[in-house]
Structures are given as C-alpha cells and as structure tokens.
Copies of this chain bind each other. A is one copy, B any other.
Amino acid sequence: MRVPRANSREKILAAAADVAREAGPGSLSLDAVASRAGVSKGGLLYNFPTKAKLMQGLVESYLSDFQKALDARAAEAGHESVLSAYIKLSADDCEQPKPSASWIFSAIAEDPDFLTPIKAFKHQLFERLKGETQDLGSLLVCFLAIEGMRSMNLFDSDVLSEDEHKLLVSSLLKIAG
C-alpha cells in the first residue's frame, strides 16, 4: 500500500533527532530511525545511502534552520544589533528543557569531522558580530556566554534557575549595548 507520500527526507531527519533525544545518542541506529520515521530500513537507505550521509543531512538542516531563524530575528524591529538578536534567539532556544540537538553527539562519535561545518558557521557568525561592534571585550564575553548557555542546554545540565536565566540574558543585553 503506497501512501501518496510526504517528504520522507524531512520525516527521517526529524525522527533521527527524536531518537537521539529520547533514547540517547548512543542508540541512534538506522533501524531505530527507520521505525520511528514510519519507513523501512530499505526506504531509509534509499534516501540516505549511508549513516554518514544521514548525519550530514542533520548538520546541514540544523545549520540552515539556525541561519534562517537568526536572519528573521535580526530583521525584526527592536533589535539594534545582530548580537542582541543572537542573544535573544539563543535564550529562547535554551528555554526548551530538551536538548533538541543531542544527535550532535552521535555525529561526533561517528566522525569528529562532522563538526567542521559547524565550526565554520560559528567562525563566520563571530566575524559578522565583530564587524558591528566597537568593544571587542564585551563581544567576546557575550559570545562565549551564549556558547556556554547552549552547551549547558546541550549537555542537559541546567544549573541555572529560571530567574537566573532571565538575569543572565538581561545582563548580556546590557553588555551588548
């Protein structure tokens, strides 16, 4: 029975992220992803001929989503700078108690080189931020603090209370100017 067909690719990507988040990054097997996506293993391998390709797909869609979200925020009224847009976006991202990107650990285990595009992306973002700021010290502090926020969220080790989180964000926005 052939269901008309939704875009299997995106369903698979979402399923992979779900599995990594819920069953742990070590349990991200092709079988688990396929069954979660409502697709057979053969179907999965049809879309992503190899596990590495699946990981790559995860990285790419993550990065492009992030780029889009950041641009959207930056275009909104009320942002004096890309930096403050970045701060607010990250603050919102980290409010979800669930890591949402723990598949990254699976990718690293598969091959650390999957980080390369992410590194490049961060570098580019940092350069962009440097271009619009006059106080490099403040930028560094903000940029790294955001990195810390994201890292804590990723490792699911939120030490901060909700109030502390808010205070942190407002402090960062003040530093960002």
Q: A146 to chain B: which residues have CB within 8 Å?
A: 144, 148
Interchain nearest-CB distance for A83 vs B (Å): 14
Main secondary structure of the interface of A (DSSP, over half): helix
Q: Interface extent on A, as a size class?
A: 35 or more
CB < 8 Å neighbour of A140 from B150, B151, B160:
B160
Q: Is the CB of A122 within 8 A of B25?
A: no
Is A14 on the interface with B (CB-CB < 8 A)? no
Which residues of chain A (150-177) have a CB below 8 Å from chain B?
Answer: 150-152, 155-157, 159-160, 164, 167-168, 170-172, 175
Task: Please determine whether A141 and B136 come into contact, CB atoms closer than 8 angstroms.
Answer: no
A-B contact pairs, 23 of them (CB 8 A): A24-B109, A102-B112, A105-B105, A105-B109, A118-B155, A118-B157, A119-B157, A136-B167, A137-B171, A140-B160, A140-B164, A140-B168, A141-B168, A143-B148, A144-B146, A144-B168, A145-B148, A146-B148, A147-B148, A147-B151, A147-B152, A148-B151, A151-B151
